[in-house]
Every structure is written in structure tokens, then in C-alpha cells.
Chains A and B, each alone.
Chain A
């Protein structure tokens, strides 16, 4: 085959041979780039199943576009030869790299993250690899992981049973590599993405220890161990492996797939968490490091977590790795992890300080009883009043008809005793032309009575219900509702969202103040100090500071922050800040002439910006960080010596604009105006 050309790909040399194909290095004659060409072995070219499998490889792999998955360029048939052209990867397989022993933890995690990320994409496309092993993972010179051979992958049906793999059933071959095979794969069971989790666990084990979790003289021995024996602990081989990584690998290698990571995404998230915590632990108590992708599932480095990362001197048992039940209480709520938050919540509840979930049952029960009672009183009073009115109206009808009204006896039996009691009590005749007006009086009294009784009951019910209502509303705005996977906000929330946002924006604006910031820097301050006596420099800069302080005082500066050579001053008014800047530039001549004795003169550049900033009275300017301040600083940075650059926002607020000119440039997307010292 060497030297043969398939389409526009020329075969250069044979790279290797696997069960399902021979791989050659080739070259793309059109684009002049190296490629890998995979050919079905000649005996398999006639085998329909092999061909179907080969085709499936091409289709499957081409669906996955990921930096860690080999790119498929072309699939074709020529002279009855089926070939697949892939990206040619220059690098080493992980297997080759592991010959020199286990990998350091951080590179290990970096490789594992790339593998898990690629598998998470495959998972999303319902594709399983089925043969993840160190030989199938390559590392390029730039550290990019490439997973080879998605050819064994098979599509997982989204519903219904997984289709039986033809290759597997007809040829009686279990696909995969025994040492990396999951127990369910070894048993020929239906596979899902969790088989790749297991195989990735084996690779992780290899990377951490330099050996396989199950070894033996023959494949059947290995297979027996895969099926029956628990994997050795990583710590048995590498005591430096952090316990969190050991736990993760053990979880991947669970025989029961229900106890493994259920998807590659979960594994990925935990890998990132371990990596980040390791980096944080290494950073120690230094300044906060920016590390992309803080993992949200794990808490910030609590003492417990950090101790997890310290390599144990002796092998760690699984029980010592597990957090103690009381540990959740120590987890700060900023942890933001599901588990940590829930455990913190559980701990709170167990501790009896159930501020978030007080016992609601008695309130609900009391509300129910009160509401039922109130409604019953209301209905009874209303019916009684209606009955009275009905009886009052009956004489209007003809007597023979009135007797035939259904249920009239019931009304009489309910109303008459009350009526008799009232009549005897008041001892006044309310009858007029056969109409008994006492019935109307009783009806009215019944209605008023039920209202009077219901009113305090309603108040009592509202009082009991109030805490429940506030809690329910907070559910919609708090963490509890987050467990539900709502795809969108409720209609009611949508309706009020803009109003709530407008109110929030107003409140946010209310706590901010309109402040102008003036940044001043001495031009070439380092050069100025060259060749000068230290005492002269110190004296000159001390005088300069006094000079500036006087100007700031005159121009009513709100707060000032000093750096070795520069200064940032905050003003309540743009006018004052601009006046300070102009005064500084003008008076600097006098200062240079009369005050200090350095050879080089003081020259400054100024930047000015204005905006709304949250600036509490009790905070020094040094502790305030805001974009408005940054823009002032950037204006100053780009300004020419002896000029003031101000943003358009500041310029628009100025009353005294004489001498300002628009510049044909922008700083941080702000138009710039300049004021130059008059010559």
C-alpha cells in the first residue's frame, strides 16, 4: 500500500495495525498536510459487518467536534478499499508516557479534564467510546489531548432498549480492552456512557500510579479480577495523590455503575474542582489567584478541604476521607455547592436554629381550622338571614301556594325558635298587614353577627399565615426554588420583572454618589531621581505633596489617595476637579521655579472622569474600586505631559469649558477632551 494514492491522499508509511484496521501516515496532496489513513484489513473488506462498523466509525467521529477528539477529514471507497482519513497527530500516547512512571498530579488532572470534557460532549450526542485506554489517548507537543478510535463507539438509542451490537453478537467478541473494560462490558451487558467513566477511571489510576488496577498473567485472570475484585487504592502506589483524587478514582472504578459518576460532566466538574483546589493550596495565603472556572460544587478551601489536599504520610482509609457529620456545620455558606449548602441547611435544622424552615405545620393547621370556622359561620349566618327574608316574603304569595313551597317547614323549624325568643325578649309587635318585620330585623342581626364574628377570625388567620406567606415569597426568590429545573420564569414574575428591575436600579443609584476623579502622575519621576541626592529627592517630593494638598484643599477635594509617584483625588463636582487640574498645571511653573532644587523639573499629566460610584463615608479612596476610577487612571496614563485629559461625560458637566478641545481618540470607549497648559 505504501506509495499508493487514495483520492488525493498518498500513503507514506504504516503506523500501526489494530483489530479493525491498519493505520498509515499519509499526505493530503491538495493541502500538503500530513494525515492518518485508516484502511480496513483486506479480509474485512468483504465482511459486511466490518464495513458497516467502519462506516459507523466515520459517521460517529465526524459528529464530535472537540479539540480532544480526532477530526475526520474524509471517508471513501477506492478499488474496493474502504478508507478513513483523519487528522495526523504528532505526539506520544499516554501509554508511552507512563512507561517512565506516574504523572505529577497537575498534568494528570489537566489530561483527565480534557478527556472528561470530550466524553461529556460525546455523552451529549449519545455516543459512547467503549475503548478508552492509555493507548487511545495521545498528547501533542503542545499538551493537547487527542482521543483516538471513536470507532468502537455505538449510538445509544434515546428510548427503548439499546440495539444489540451486530459485531459483538455474531462474532462472539466482547469489544474493548480487557484491562480497561468495565464489569458490565466484560459481561456483555448493554452499555451506556458509564462504561467510559469506568475506563477513564482505569486511565486515571494508571496516570496516578503508573500501573493498572487489575493485572494478571492472562486475560482471563484480569477479567476475573475486573469482575470480582475491588481495585487497589491509589495510595498503595502513590502516597502523594490527594485524597480527593483517590476518592474520585475509586468512584470511577465502582463495579456497580449506579455508584459511579453518572455522566462525564459530573466527573469533569469534580476534576476541575480538585485542580482548582490544588492550585489554591499551592498558592497558599498569597493574593487571590485568578483561575478560570471556579468549580461551584465544592466549597472554598476550608481547613478540612485543604487538609484533603495535603499528601498523607500513610495510606488513607476511605472512612478518614469522608467528612465527619459535624463538618457540614463548619462549611461556610459561600461554598455555593449543592452538597455543602444542603448539608449546612441540614445542620441548621438539626441544631434547631431553623430560621429558613421553621415548623409550618401548626400554622397551616390553625389556618385551616380558622378558615373553615369562618366560612362555616359565614355560610350559616347567610343562610339564616336568607331564610328569614324568605319567610318574611311568604305572605305576599297566596296562602295555598305558600304552603306548597318545598322546604318551608325546614325554614320554619330553623327560624321560628329564634324568632320566638327574640319576640319574647323585645315584647313588641312587629307585624303589619301579615308581614312580620321582626324577620327582617333578625336577618339583619344574623348577617351583622356573622360579620362581627368572622372579622377577628380573619385577622387571627392572617396573623398566623403571615410568616408562611413571606416564606413562600422568599422561596421564589431564594435558593429553595433552584432545585427545580424551570426552563423559564413564571408569567407573574415576567410581568413584574421590569418593575422590580427599575426599582432595584433606582435603589442602586441612590446609594451611589456622583463623583469626579482626578488622576495625576509625575512624568518621568524615575529619571528625575537619577543623579540626585536622596535627601534632595525626598525633600522635593515632600514639597510637591504639600503643593498638591494645598490645591486639593482650595478646590474642595473629597478624598485623596497617594501612590509613590501619583495621586488620585475625588471631588463632588467636576468643576472643582477640573479647576484643581488647571491650577496644578499653571502653578507647577511657580513650584518648579521657586520651591525645589532638583535639576529636572516636575511635569505632570492628568486624567479626569466622572460617574456614579458607591463611596461610603468611612472608606478611604484606596479601598474603592470602580470603572469610573479606572477610566480616570487610563486618561491620565495616555495624557501628554502638561495636559489634562477628561472624558466626554466630565466635559459635558463642565460650565467653564474654555481651552478644552476634542481629541480624535477614545480611552476605554470614552471620547476625550484635552486642556493644555498655556505657554
Chain B
């Protein structure tokens, strides 16, 4: 199993842990696993250490930004394809995490704009997968969601990624994309 950098929610101890399959599945699903902590001397909740945010840098590359948009709502994908104009962005769309991973395998992207609530592998699980396997992409995620549930709010507060609520506000979206890279 891949090594994950986790921290204990109680004492903030950070450790690299190779998790058994069941715990790894839980980590992807809920972002938290119950494991013993040497410092706390008890079983505690461990979470993935969120990715470092890159220092904001001015992009001087005149080529369009490559943006991967992941959303199970076809309308959102279509709207973003139209709004993010080709002279500024090269937009590739994915209707689910499966498609997104296939696209990530073959193409490089500057920014990933992801929905959160999606069937099966949702935005949260995808983000956790990226932290573990493609950490440099975890730094480039921008969440665009219409979900205002407490679970999603908590996730957004903790993930450290820029995020926006639907409906799409283009100037704000462009500004956040610029912030990422």
C-alpha cells in the first residue's frame, strides 16, 4: 500500500503510514482513519496532511492554461467549455473520476476544476487520491460545487484548496484559476 502522510487530530503528530486496505478505503471515503497514536497512547483519528500551497507566481506563459473540468453534470461541463474561452484556456472535460484519471494519465494540466458530489469516486475521494499519488496535482485543485452541506463545508475548510459555489461567476473563477497557476 502507498505510504500516506497522516497527522493525529488530537496531538498533530505527523507520521508516514502504510495502511491496510480497509483503512485505506476509509481514508479515501471519509478522510479519516482510527489508528493508535504513540504520543496520545490511544487510538485516535488520523487525517491526510493536506498538500502544500504553492507560492503565488505570475504566469508569463502565453499559451492557454490547460484546465481539466470534472463534473457529473453535463450542463456545467458545457457551460465551462463555453465560458473558458479557447484563447485563454484549453478545457478538457471529464464526467467522473474514472475519466479524469484517464485524462491525467495522458495529459498535463495546470488546473483541475472539480465538483464535489459525484457518484462513486466523489470529489473528496479524488482529492485524497491525488494527495497520495499525484501530490503536485492536489495543489492545483479548485473545487466548484453547489453543495452547501455541512460535510462539504467542513471538507472545504480543511482541504486548503480554493473553491467557489455554483452558480458560476466567471471573473471569480478566472481569478481563482490564476491564483493556482
Residues of A within 8 A of B (CB): 66-67, 117, 120-121, 123-124, 126, 158, 193, 263-266, 268-269, 287-290, 292-297, 300, 332-338, 341-342, 344-345, 348, 353, 355-356, 470-471, 473-474, 476-479, 481-489, 493-494, 497-498, 500-501, 504-505, 507-512, 611-612, 614, 625, 627, 669
Q: Which one, B14, B24, B57, B129, contacts A355 given CB within 8 A?
A: B14
Are B21 and A332 in contact (CB-based, < 8 A)?
no
User: Could you jot down 19 A-B contacts, CB within 8 Å?
Assistant: A117-B171, A120-B179, A263-B57, A287-B150, A288-B157, A292-B172, A296-B162, A300-B158, A334-B160, A474-B16, A477-B3, A501-B133, A505-B121, A507-B22, A508-B28, A508-B125, A509-B120, A614-B30, A625-B149
Are B57 and A294 in contact (CB-based, < 8 A)?
no
Are B156 and A294 in contact (CB-based, < 8 A)?
yes
Q: Contacts of B73 on A, CB cut-off 8 Å?
A: 669
Are A336 and B58 in contact (CB-based, < 8 A)?
no
Which residues of B1-58 are within 8 A (CB) of A? 2-5, 7, 12-16, 18, 21-22, 24-26, 28-30, 47, 49-58
Are B15 and A355 in contact (CB-based, < 8 A)?
yes
B164 within 8 A of partner (CB): yes
Q: Determine how close the nearest CB of chain A comes to the CB of B124; give it in whole angstroms.
A: 11
Are B54 and A124 in contact (CB-based, < 8 A)?
no
Q: Contacts of B122 on A, CB cut-off 8 Å?
A: 627
Are A336 and B53 in contact (CB-based, < 8 A)?
yes
Are A487 and B55 in contact (CB-based, < 8 A)?
no
Interface size of B in residues (CB-CB distance below 8 Å)? 79
Chain A: which residue is nearest B2 at the CB level?
A: A477
On whether A333 and B7 interact (CB within 8 A), knowing A288-B150, A481-B135, the answer reads yes
CA distance A337 to B49 in the complex (A): 11
Are B156 and A296 in contact (CB-based, < 8 A)?
no
B78 within 8 A of partner (CB): no
Are B134 and A493 in contact (CB-based, < 8 A)?
yes
Q: Contacts of A511 on B, CB cut-off 8 Å?
A: 22, 25-26, 29
Which residues of B153-174 are within 8 A (CB) of A? 153-154, 156-165, 171-172
Chain B: which residue is nearest A470 at the CB level?
A: B3
On whether A356 and B136 interact (CB within 8 A), knowing A296-B53, A511-B25, the answer reads no
CA distance A126 to B60 in the complex (A): 8
Are A470 and B49 in contact (CB-based, < 8 A)?
no
On whether A507 and B28 interact (CB within 8 A), knowing A290-B156, A498-B101, A501-B129, the answer reads yes
Extra inter-chain contacts (17) besides given A473-B3, A507-B24, CB under 8 Å: A120-B178, A264-B58, A288-B157, A290-B156, A292-B164, A292-B172, A334-B160, A336-B51, A344-B12, A474-B3, A477-B3, A478-B16, A497-B133, A501-B133, A508-B28, A612-B120, A625-B150
Q: Contacts of B7 on A, CB cut-off 8 Å?
A: 332-334
Are B52 and A338 in contact (CB-based, < 8 A)?
yes
Q: Contacts of A470 on B, CB cut-off 8 Å?
A: 3, 16, 18
B93 within 8 A of partner (CB): no
Residue from A470, A504, A505 having most chain B Cβ neighbours under 10 A: A504
Are B4 and A477 in contact (CB-based, < 8 A)?
yes
Q: Contacts of A498 on B, CB cut-off 8 Å?
A: 101-102, 105
Q: Contacts of A126 on B, CB cut-off 8 Å?
A: 60
Q: Determine how close the nearest CB of chain A comes to the CB of B113; give it in whole angstroms.
A: 13
Chain A: which residue is nearest B148 at the CB level?
A: A290
Chain B: which residue is nearest A342 at the CB level?
A: B52
B139 within 8 A of partner (CB): yes
